[in-house]
């Protein structure tokens, strides 16, 4: 029979191994998310999907503006003839992210009749489900997902689960503080794997 001291040591060792495993897993996934987002290359598609980001009272947040600048560049370079902007209402503004994004692209000179909006989603999966609905109405199969590079691994995996053919393009230089957002993606990727 094990003494309480031996049991205490076993429990402590087990906890140490669990913590070390969690730290190692987090580190590996963190590095993979960074690597993946920087190596993925956009491919020609039938539509560009801009994943939502916050809208502030005065308009699109810096994060959303970064995504829109990349989507605009890809559109002008001929990667796709249409754009779908996504995102519902957030905490800071009653204007849906998808609508604010569409209006911004139109104000920058993109043709309104080729910019579609999804305005009811609350997360990445819902962004993609809404975009897929628009794609199906137009008979589109191939999409180019635009987001921040650290978001692309999960976004592209979710899109493929929905049956989309996708490539991605990520914002690399950002005003955002990356480490906490990448750690959030580590957790979100782990959760999406079991979903």
pTM of the predicted model as reported, rounded to 2 decimal places: 0.86
Domains and CATH numbers, the chain: 36-194 (3.40.50.620)
Residue with tokens 């993609």: 128
* Ranges of the chain whose pLDDT falls below 50: none
Residue 124: name the closest of 115, 132, 134, 136 by CA.
132
pLDDT digits over 128-154, tens only? 999 999 999 999 999 999 999 989 999
Integer-rounded Cα Rg, in Å, for the chain is: 20
104 CB burial (10 A radius; 0-12, 13-18, 19+): buried
pLDDT digits over 95-107, tens only? 999 999 999 999 9
């Amino acid at each position: 029979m094990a003494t309480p001291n031996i049991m205490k040591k076993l429990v402590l060792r087990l906890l140490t191994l669990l913590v070390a495993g969690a730290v190692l897993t987090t580190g590996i996934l963190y590095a993979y998310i960074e690597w993946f987002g920087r190596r993925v290359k956009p491919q020609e598609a039938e539509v560009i999907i801009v994943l939502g980001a916050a809208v502030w009272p005065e308009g699109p947040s810096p994060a959303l503006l970064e995504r829109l600048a990349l989507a605009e560049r890809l559109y002008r370079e001929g990667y796709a003839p249409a754009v779908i902007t996504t995102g519902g209402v957030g905490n800071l503004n009653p204007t849906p992210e998808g609508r604010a994004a569409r209006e911004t692209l139109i104000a920058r000179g993109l043709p309104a009749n080729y910019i579609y909006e999804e305005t009811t989603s609350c997360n990445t999966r819902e962004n993609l489900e809404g975009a897929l609905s628009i794609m199906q109405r137009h008979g589109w199969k191939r999409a180019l997902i635009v987001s921040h590079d650290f978001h692309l691994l999960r976004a592209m995996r979710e899109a493929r689960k929905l049956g989309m053919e996708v490539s991605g393009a990520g914002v690399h230089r950002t005003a955002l503080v990356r480490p906490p957002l990448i750690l959030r993606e580590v957790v979100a990727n782990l959760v999406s794997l079991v979903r």
